[in-house]
Structure 1
Amino acid sequence: MRVLVVDDHPLLRQGLSDLLGALPDVEAVTTVPDGSGAAAAAVDGAVDVVLMDLSMPGTDGLVATREVVAARPGARVVVLTTFAENDRILAALDAGAVGYLLKDAEPEEIIRAVRDAAAGHAPFSARAAAALVAERRPRAAAPETAPGTGPVDRVGPADVLTAREREVLALVATGLPNKSVARRLDISEKTVKAHLTRVFTAIGVGDRTSAALWAQRHGLTHDADL
Structure 2
Amino acid sequence: MTRPTTVLLVDDDPLVRSALALMLGGQADIEVVGEAGDGLEGVRLAGELGPDVVLMDIRMPRLDGLGATRELHSRPDPPRVIVLTTFDADEHIVEALASGADGFLLKDTPPPQIIDAIRKVVDDEPMLSPSVTRTLIRRLRDEPDDAADVAAARAAEAQVRLELLTGRERDVALAVGRGLSNAEIARELYLSVPTVKAHVSRLFDKLQATNRVQIAICVHDAGLS
Q: Point out where structure 1 has 5 or more consecutive residues left out of the alignment.
A: 156-160, 162-168, 179-191, 220-226
- What is the SS of the residue equivalent to 1:51? strand
Please identify, of 96-105 and 62-71, the stretch whose mean Cα deviation from structure 2 is larger. 62-71
Quote the sequence identity (%): 35
What is the CA–CA distance in structure 1 between the aligned matches of 2:46 and 2:24, rounded to whole Å? 16
Give the 5 Å matches for 1:86-105: 86-105=90-109
- Encode CA deviations 1:7-35: one digit per residue, 9 max, x unaligned: 12222211111122221111334221211
Specify whether residues 103 and 218 from structure 1 end up closer, same or farther in structure 2 by C-alpha distance, changes over 3 A only. Answer: same
Distance 1:21 1:7 in 2: 17
| Residue 47 of structure 1: aligned partner | 51
In structure 2, C-alpha distance between the alignment counterparts of 1:73 and 1:10, rounded to whole Å? 28
Task: Give how far 1:214 is off.
Answer: 6.5
- Distance change (3 Å), C-alpha of 1:214 and 1:65: closer
Contact residue 24 and residue 31 of structure 2 kept, 8 A: no
Measure, in 2, the Cα distance between the counterparts of 1:200 and 1:92: 31
Give the Å deviation of 1:84: 2.6
**Equivalent of residue 42 in structure 2, options 32, 38, 41:** 38
**Distance in 1 between residues matched to 2:110 and 2:159, nearest whole Å:** 35
**1:101/1:125 contact within 8 Å kept:** no
What TM-score do you get using the length of structure 1 for normalisation?
0.63
> What is the alpha-carbon root mean square deviation over aligned residues?
4.0
Q: Residue 51 of structure 1: CA displacement?
A: 0.7
| C-alpha spacing 1:100/1:201, structure 2 compared with 1 (3 Å) | farther
Correspondences of 1:185-196 after superposition (within 5 Å): none
- Aligned match of 1:133: 137
Unmatched runs of 5 consecutive residues or more in structure 2: 143-150, 201-210
TM-score of the aligned structures, taking structure 2 as reference length: 0.64
